[in-house]
A and B are shown apart, each in its own frame.
Chain A
């Protein structure tokens, strides 16, 4: 593999039902994690962001033209950019991961036609029916003019977006990338997911990280929140939406190799109420790392959504700095040291690994 540049994290933005803010707010929550309040949506409990919270984050004139999931994305993105202090005019890429996109707008667009025929269709809603709408509106809001990607994969959209962004910086294609994930909860979608057997509790929100080449970040005296020392993504053999049996992971090995062969001391993983998937992940981690390392998921606290995977990377940076791995479900934090692994494994075999260390 060719020479790769060191990648650092210089900004974090989190917007979800439990925590809103930059890295200090996230750190305060990780030090004493409290579960997001759940409300029933589509017949299942979900960690939905209160409307008042979102309204407070976006200017009403701007909000008029932004769907809810776009508002979440922009809110998270702006906080990250502000914390990093980066000037987007110097060149900023954007990578957005999402599992579900903007179904709320898609459903409303279809309903308009079903209710009133062609004249019931809304021109304003139509662009939101294409999943790049979050990236398109966010690129305008933060003036990001380099590469712009929207990645749609089951389960690991947030982790993958950050990995993809880090790879772009490491490979010298762009000096800075705003990378993260977002999803919202729509009642009909929640109902359908339930009917299709989706198990994990759903959440919503956006988490974005500003990733930069270490050299350019240091040159502008940016505060460095953490390092991403190696990333990889592959697919493990499994039927679509199925759980596989093989445990041999090339993604973890490849990420570790990029990080100079470092051994992680702890893990942020994908464990959730989906017990079959969680069991598969445990086998994969054990096979790759040789032991059961201290692990956290945060899924039970925040609900599964595209932002969660990216939040795990930001949380890993905090853990690398603080030496604390938060306990899921109210357990006390575990003392850890050294770099850690952020691991994403989805039904269907989507598989992402990121090695994260302290600045």
Chain B
């Protein structure tokens, strides 16, 4: 199997457009979780979210999610210096959940008010698979193309899928990532399940009360290492291994012992051929629900032992960006390796005594690590771990 490296990064986050703005926010430990503005939130316990401040890519007739995806994918391709000639064979794997649901909601809400809006662009773009259609066509990507919907782990699964296509020799280059725009369905739904904190979320905190919702998009360019070297591409890091498992336990609650999570982490280590001791940092799923953080910490302890490895949750700063989370957190993990700086768990005040790791409270930490992993554990027990190694 061929080795896969990261040669381009692109992101649109609650800190703004571009990887630079994203990393600047993470490095500063800033929190982008604020009162919701995109639609009404009256009657809901939680009324805050991490919104992207301004859309700069794509035309206004496109769905919000398409515009987020375009911004991130265009940046990644440009960053990698992918020539037009290469795009015909480049694969595209997209992680998505909400699709163009925000615009479809506006259509449906108008319909409920007795207006008769014509079905059209809003409904065409509703499906999660529609971003791939938009990106593939707009960017001229002619290789294998598919969309994965695995709830909160969609973005990570997309990178794992793309890595497999390259490792197996199906393609030499792939664009992979995830996107989700704020939607009423998501915001109302998590409110209904009482999984949201009315204040900005506090992963791994003793007094954590739930998640914050965010939106955004992040795409990376993955390449076979021989090809990247041959064309003199800048190599950020190697995507050295991944693990994908399923809890098969409950549609919303994680399996209490974290067995599926631990298995995903072990599989990533095995695939990369490294021991747990080689991993210096874990970008946790860290949603700040009482359950996830407790179980994830237990799973991490099972695989990595107690203490030693540094763990942080960037959801403390940008919230849970759903299908974009895996992509945005992969970008953060890669930059952790290249910048030798670990983003903090920005909102951590009182560490949970049950969590035996240093969760890098409040302030980013300088550290040179050899390997770092990113965890994404989706609703319905879809567990994915990506392992990145220093280039």
Contact = CB atoms under 8 A, between A and B. Distances in A.
Instruction: Say if the two chains contact directly (CB < 8 Å).
Output: yes
Interface of A: 1-2, 94, 99-101, 106-107, 109-110, 113-114, 117-118, 121-123, 126-127, 129-133, 135-137, 139-140, 143-154, 160, 164, 167, 171, 173, 192, 195-196, 232-241, 254, 348-350
Contacts of B252: 127
Nearest to B147: A152
Contacts of A129: 185, 189
Contacts of A146: 244-246
B361 interface: no
Contact of B145 (A94, A147, A350): A350
Given A118-B44, A235-B142, A240-B137, A150 B149 contact: yes
A241 B137 CA distance: 11
B31 to A, nearest CB: 26
17 contacts: A101-B127, A118-B43, A133-B251, A146-B245, A149-B161, A150-B148, A152-B148, A154-B127, A173-B164, A192-B119, A192-B123, A235-B142, A237-B142, A238-B137, A254-B170, A348-B137, A349-B145
Contacts of A109: 185, 189
B256 interface: no
Contacts of B168: 1-2, 167, 171
Given A110-B108, A144-B246, A239-B137, A135 B132 contact: no
A95 to B, nearest CB: 10
B144 interface: yes
Contacts of A151: 146-149
A131 B130 CA distance: 14
Nearest to A235: B145
Q: Which 4 A-B pairs have the closest CB atoms?
A: A136-B380, A126-B189, A240-B133, A152-B129
Contact of A122 (B132, B191, B192, B381): B192
A127 B251 contact: yes
B348 to A, nearest CB: 29
A268 B11 CA distance: 41
B164 A171 contact: yes
Contacts of A117: 43
Interface string B246-289: 11111110000000100000000000000000000000000000
A124 B249 CA distance: 16
Given A127-B251, A145-B247, A136 B382 contact: yes
Given A110-B108, A130-B97, A132-B378, A140 B146 contact: no
B32 to A, nearest CB: 24
B1 interface: yes
A349 B245 CA distance: 31
B55 interface: no
Contact of A132 (B109, B151, B260): B151
Given A118-B43, A143-B248, A110 B381 contact: no
Contact of A127 (B124, B169, B379): B379
Interface in B172-198: 184-185, 188-193
